[in-house]
Copies of this chain bind each other. A is one copy, B any other.
């Protein structure tokens, strides 16, 4: 059942546009996960979404433009952070979310495809960087809260701590055949918390520690 088959007059102003976007982005995500970036084709995505080809070309223009919009939507749709009252538990919640996303069949393939595309396509790289900035900024306040609770040095860089949680999971995904299990997620959270407590992510750091 495609978007364009919605009965005329039953949709709020703006509703149809939003639903066309949702259908096209979902189809783009499916195609990316199945085929990778290099084989993406706007006409094929329009067919999958049951949306007119002209609409897709007019609205997104290029494959890179569509993928950039997909990443922007993924950032908007992502889950809000968890607040547990403890740095370690907050970081474990973050690590577990990243792990579940990357080990999900469709989502994992989609992230791999976009990261691969970003190595050659500047617009996709920019959209991917923006996606991570938004996600990191969503979680960074849990570090600030830990600072306020006295768990961490005052000048701890929250963005660096959150990046440190993700890094080993992405590294494992891209450079090894090892499974992304919960033990890996826990270890990533524990290591980031321990290094943060040791002062490694202080914004004035760079030696010592």
Contact = CB atoms under 8 A, between A and B. Distances in A.
Interface string A105-128: 000000011011111100001101
A79 interface: no
B160 A167 contact: no
Interface residues of A, number: 47
B171 A187 contact: no
A57 B97 CA distance: 45
A29 interface: no
Interface string A27-39: 0000000001010
- Stoichiometry, copies per complex: 2
A168 B177 contact: no
A185 to B, nearest CB: 10
A163 interface: yes
Interface of A: 36, 38, 112-113, 115-120, 125-126, 128-129, 132-133, 160, 163-164, 166-168, 170-172, 174-177, 183, 186-187, 190-195, 197-198, 200-201, 205-209
19 contacts: A115-B116, A115-B119, A118-B174, A129-B176, A163-B172, A167-B170, A167-B171, A167-B172, A170-B174, A186-B206, A190-B198, A190-B205, A191-B201, A192-B195, A194-B194, A194-B195, A194-B197, A194-B198, A194-B200
